[in-house]
């Protein structure tokens, strides 16, 4: 298991969080998602094989932009 953090731009409300959660939840290996519209922080926990690029693509699919943090 590993955890990755991302900063997401453009989320404004709980509906936005839900959109990100739904898309990122479809990335293979993802087992937990913490996301906050207020801070823009997205924390993804999953198996070691979870690709950051897949998470970024999922956020993009939801309609927002993310960058890896740390």
- The residue ranges that bind a second copy (CB under 8 A) are 12-13, 15-16, 18-19
4 HSE (CA, 13 A, CB side)? 21
**Is the CB of 19 or the CB of 27 nearer to a second copy?**
19
**Is the CB of 14 or the CB of 68 nearer to a second copy?**
14
Q: Under a CB-based contact definition with an 8 Å cutoff, are residues 55 and 44 in contact?
A: yes
Count the Cβ atoms, other than its own, within 10 Å of residue 44.
26
* Distance in Å, CB of 45 to a second copy, minimum: 25
**Is the CB of 18 or the CB of 43 nearer to a second copy?**
18
């Amino acid at each position: 298991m590993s955890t990755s953090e991302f900063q997401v731009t453009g989320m404004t409300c709980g509906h936005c969080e839900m959109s990100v959660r739904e898309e990122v939840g479809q990335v293979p290996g993802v087992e937990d998602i913490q996301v906050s519209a207020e801070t823009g922080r997205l924390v993804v926990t999953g198996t070691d094989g979870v690709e950051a690029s897949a998470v970024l693509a999922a956020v993009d699919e939801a309609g927002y932009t993310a960058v890896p943090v740390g």
